[in-house]
Amino acid sequence: MIGLFLAILAASIATVFAGIGSAKGVGSAAQTSMGVLSEDSSMFGKMLVLTLLPGTQGLYGFIVGFLILINCGVLGGDLPTTGQGFAFLGASIAIGLGGMISGFAQGKAAVSGITMTAKDEKNFSKAMVSITLVEIYALLAFIVSLLVVISVPGLEV
């Protein structure tokens, strides 16, 4: 039962913390986008793209949380051992913290990119590249978490 508790805690950590990062990042970018759109509504498409970019961290956390639930007996699979529960917990910390921190940082980059694009629409692609660079670190955390989660059912711990 301890393994199941740890796995459910892990799914929650992955989802909640990565979601917090995305919510904060998208929220900050949306506030700035709305200011731009109040002056020039023709920029809606570009503002939408730049605003959505920090939202991927929450998706990564959700995927990891969902896979944990599938593998821990909640949505299928066998009940995890205590060792497997701790492995799920470790995996969730990677994407939870990585997603939260990169979501905050990507939100800040998005705000700057939105401001830069508002001044000159030619800067849109430069803003996209800069904002996307932050995404790399969320992806690294996601890949590590994913590799651990898919290997846990085979662990004899």
pLDDT in tens, the chain (157 residues): 899 999 999 999 999 999 999 999 999 999 999 999 999 999 999 999 999 999 999 999 999 999 999 998 888 778 999 999 999 999 999 999 999 999 999 999 999 999 999 999 999 999 999 999 999 999 999 999 999 999 998 877 7
Q: Which residue type is seen at 1?
A: M
Distances (CA, A) of 117 to 61, 124, 143: 29, 5, 31
CATH number at residue 51: 1.20.120.610
Q: What's the full length of the chain, in residues?
A: 157
Inside any domain, residue 76:
yes
Domain membership of residue 119 as a residue range = 2-152
Number of domains in the chain: 1
The answer to pTM > 0.85 is yes
Start-to-end C-alpha separation, the chain: 14
Inside any domain, residue 13:
yes
Inside any domain, residue 75:
yes
Inside any domain, residue 19:
yes
How far from chain centre, in Å, is Cα 29? 15
Inside any domain, residue 140:
yes
What value does the CA radius of gyration of the chain take, rounded to a whole number of Å? 18
Inside any domain, residue 103:
yes
Tokens encoding 58: 């929450």
Inside any domain, residue 157:
no
> Can you give the pLDDT at residue 1?
85
Inside any domain, residue 123:
yes
